[in-house]
Amino acid sequence: MTTVRTTLIATTALGLVLSGGFTAAQAETLRLLTWGGYAPDKVIELFEQKYPDIDVEVTLSNNEEMISKLRATGGAGYDLAQPSHDRIFAVQKEYGIYKPLDLSKIDTAVMSEKLLDGVKANTTIDGAVYAVPHQWGTSGLMADKSKAPDIKSWADLCDPKYKGKTSMRLRRTILLGTAFAMGENPFEAYSDLAKYQALLDKVADKLIACKDNIKVYWQGGDDLANLMLSGEIVASETWDSTAFKLYNQNNNIVFVPPETGALAWIDTFAIPSGGEADDAAYKWINFVLQPEIVTMMSASTGAIAAVKNGGDLLPEEAKAAVAAAFTPADIDNLKFFANIPPGVEDMEGKTLEKIKAATGG
């Protein structure tokens, strides 16, 4: 018995020493929680060349999963996250998963003032700023010009002419878009939740009636790309970046800003409250805002960087796609997603469930 016990203790001790030793020997790790395409291998390689003592680890995610992951760990497990600007305020108030940024460590001078101020306004709580902008883009419509030339509004997806040939993603974007198409402004209704619920009910009726027209609700960018390229659908709600990528494969597929204005989002940088590598995180933020990195990043994300001349720094083929999609008037007409007040997400979730469960149309 004694021998067994001694061996056991010895082994455990050895294990502890070994694992402890390995952790200490490791270089600093920067754990990124970000979107697909937001940390291209090439950029990571260059970053690690410049800062050889930092290892970059990437976890790909989306807005909802980022928040859920950080919430599950109380803000630990990642050192830098990239939620959209409208998803920070309420979440921070409710779950406290981010820490305030030290703006003096960020090269804010290179950022587009309008976007920086917008994000600051959206994410300042008790005087502390929780996010700065990184990339922005829009949600709108995508159409195959040769088969569906007259798609102009969110409501055109429900045009019986294109029955069984359109698609959308059953998420909050289409709720907001449909509300705009009905002549309402959902962002203004946020302040009065009863009014917003009434609006959501109207939107739900409209989208349930529209169900018959929809071929399928797409789930992700690849899904949508397949549907569109194969010609199974001719028009869809989309992210502009997905549409820009498809434009390069088929020049008939263009991004169409809806006449009520494309909905604009800004993906930001925010540091989780349990982040353990703040300095590395600030280094990454400043690194990816350098002009030559911005171009590489935009090539990979399809989105425009929130720096002063972000549009000019787009790769050539993306510039063509943007030029084919936006006029200056469209840019002026952009509707930036407004901060989501607490409770709205739940109301919208319930509305989406209602639409999905309805057999209607």
Q: Is 160 in the site for another protein (CB under 8 A)?
A: no
- Both tokens assigned to 115: 């976007």
202 near another protein, rule: CB under 8 A: no
Candidate ranges 59-67, 130-138, 150-158, 292-300; the one touching another protein (CB under 8 A): 59-67
Between residue 119 and residue 148, which ones bind another protein under the rule CB under 8 A? none
Segment interacting with another protein (CB under 8 A) among 13-21, 239-247, 292-300, 340-348: 340-348
Query: Between residues 78 and 244, which has the closer beta carbon with respect to another protein?
Result: 78
Q: Output the smallest distance, CB 95 to another protein, in A.
A: 8
* Smallest gap from residue 60 Cβ to another protein (A): 15
Structure letter (DSSP) for residue 307: B
Q: Which two tokens stand for residue 251?
A: 């020049």
Residue of 171, 157, 165 lying closest to 219 (CA atoms): 171
Sign of CA dihedral 29, 35, 41, 45: negative
For residues 121 and 213, give the distance between their C-alpha atoms in angstroms, rounded to a whole number. 39
Q: How far is the CA of 145 from the CAs of 142, 230, 263, in angstroms?
A: 9, 15, 21
Does residue 15 interact with another protein by CB under 8 A?
A: no
By the rule CB under 8 A, 216 interacts with another protein: yes
**Least distance from C-beta 179 to another protein, angstroms?**
18
In whole angstroms, how far apart are CA 68 and each of 33, 61, 62, 83, 129? Answer: 12, 10, 10, 11, 21
**Under the criterion CB under 8 A, does residue 201 sit at the interface with another protein?**
no
Give me the residues paired with residue 111 across strands.
Answer: 307
Asked if 107 and 289 touch (Cβ cutoff 8 Å), the reply is yes
Count of residues near another protein by CB under 8 A = 33
Interface residues with another protein (CB under 8 A) are 1, 4, 64-65, 67-68, 71, 91, 93-95, 171, 211, 214-217, 219, 230-232, 342, 345-346, 349-350, 352-354, 356-359
